[in-house]
Homo-oligomer: A and B are copies of this chain.
Amino acid sequence: MRTPTHTLHASQSHSGWDRSREAVLSVPPGTTIELDVADASGGQLGPDSVAEALTDMDMGRVNPTTGPVRVEGAMPGDALQVRIHELRPSGWGWTGLIPGFGLLAGDFPEPTLTHWHYQPSGSEPAAFGDVARVPVRPFPGTLGVAPAEPGPHSVIPPRRVGGNLDTRDLVAGTTLWLPVEVEGALFSLGDTHAAQGDGEVCGTAIESPMTAVVSLDLEPGAAPAFPVFETVAAPRDVEVRDGVIATTGIGPDLMAGARDAVRAMIELLGLRYRLDPPNAYMLASVAADLRISEIVDAPNWVVTCAVPKAIFAP
């Protein structure tokens, strides 16, 4: 574990990417920094919030990222190496169905909100009522650098330069390489999740304020075309223990296949664990993995939605 030499607070944040934004910190390559991060609502939701707050949310304030951090000497074409040393979650988080957002937005028009309270150490899984216990595996949903293209860019879509990757593997111990597109790189981090399944199907994970410790280094001229990462341990230990239950979607369109697989999982969770559809959808978002199981047997592909059985109460 590296000891950070700089700290950024959650107030030192912005929403969206812009190469003209002034850095809040400038550091030489090899520096370790600590970043406090607000939850994805930007503090609009708290432990006492109710579902209606999702409808009233100011979407211009969502997904704030702490930064940007200028890395001295970073030039377009370099790789920014981000080492994720530590994530210290707050112990509270939320998962919500936001009207108009998520893979099955048309199926779930009503705002729905679940609160999670968990051990920040990760020593205990997070309880989803008395139905399931989801392992705490904190990671930053958003980490990226400024795109070369001038002007403001929404924080929501991930990009070649990273950003809102929402990739559950990026836990502590992971190294991520991002392509630098502007002088100084301009790195920011936000959208911290206490747990998420591949796909983040309902659009929200366990959204938790968190402190992240990362170090930033440069590999000159080594920019990858898209982000690349290396992990040191798997995020799928619960799956190994007891196996999975999985649904599939099969057809010529991966998006339709993903929707079919998730719809089938929502139905299955209802039958097996008496979860109503909004709760099944939220649980899938934080614990189910979407995989492309087959993508070569034209014209049909197989998308799988797999839930580790170890999360369910015996």
Contacts and interface: CB of A to CB of B under 8 A. Distances in A.
A261 B224 CA distance: 11
A167 interface: yes
Contacts of A250: 158-160, 165, 226-227
B248 A165 contact: yes
A30 B163 CA distance: 52
For the complex formed by this chain, how many copies does it contain in all?
A: 2
A303 interface: yes
A84 interface: no
B226 A165 contact: no
Nearest to A173: B243
Contacts of A229: 245-246, 248
B239 A296 contact: no
A157 interface: yes
Given A227-B250, A250-B158, A200 B295 contact: yes
A292 B247 contact: no
Contact of A169 (B258, B297, B299, B306): B306
A59 interface: no
Contacts of A291: 198, 289-292
A224 B247 CA distance: 9
A290 B198 CA distance: 11
B240 A103 contact: no
A243 B249 contact: no
Interface stretch (A71-79, A181-189, A230-238): A230-238
Given A199-B295, A297-B156, A240 B248 contact: no
B234 A264 contact: no
A298 interface: yes
A156 B298 contact: yes
Given A199-B295, A254-B258, A291-B292, 15 more contacts: A157-B300, A158-B297, A165-B302, A167-B293, A201-B295, A227-B248, A227-B250, A228-B268, A229-B246, A233-B242, A236-B239, A237-B240, A254-B292, A290-B291, A290-B295
Nearest 10 CB-CB pairs, A to B?
A231-B243, A254-B254, A157-B300, A166-B294, A234-B240, A167-B293, A290-B292, A203-B296, A234-B239, A232-B243
